[in-house]
Structure 1
């Protein structure tokens, strides 16, 4: 299960299709070097997202990897 503490790079490595979900939610740091060690929550906050948006992103990523 993915959490907001999950590292973006790790999530993308294990679940490449999650990139589409991240991009859709405004997390455009898919290819950024920082994504290798930055959590989903930190990445979202850098992009101006609030807690509700972070939770929605994590929920959709988890839904997509279960499909």
Structure 2
């Protein structure tokens, strides 16, 4: 299940590589993470803070998207 695989210290680039179906979640929040040079270095917690998102809500959206589309 996604909740056991996502963690606040997971790098954005890894999330996007492993679960490309999460791209719309980033786009919906107007996050520039997709294709960003910092994506390999910034964590989910970092970008949630940078964009002023509630980390739990952000995780819920990512997990929901992963669960809907299934694991890759």
Runs of 4+ in 1 over 3 A off after TM superposition: none
Contact 1:9 1:36 survives alignment (8 Å): yes
Match of 2:31 among 27, 30, 37: 27
Query: How high is the TM-score relative to the length of structure 1?
Result: 0.80
Query: How high is the TM-score relative to the length of structure 2?
Result: 0.75
Contact 1:9 1:35 survives alignment (8 Å): yes
Structure 2 spans left out of the alignment, 5+ residues? none
The count of residues paired between Structure 1 and Structure 2 equals 64
Query: The residue matched to 1:35 in structure 2 has which SS?
Result: coil
Q: Which has the larger radius of gyration?
A: 2
For the aligned residues, what is the CA RMSD?
1.4
Aligned to 1:13: 17
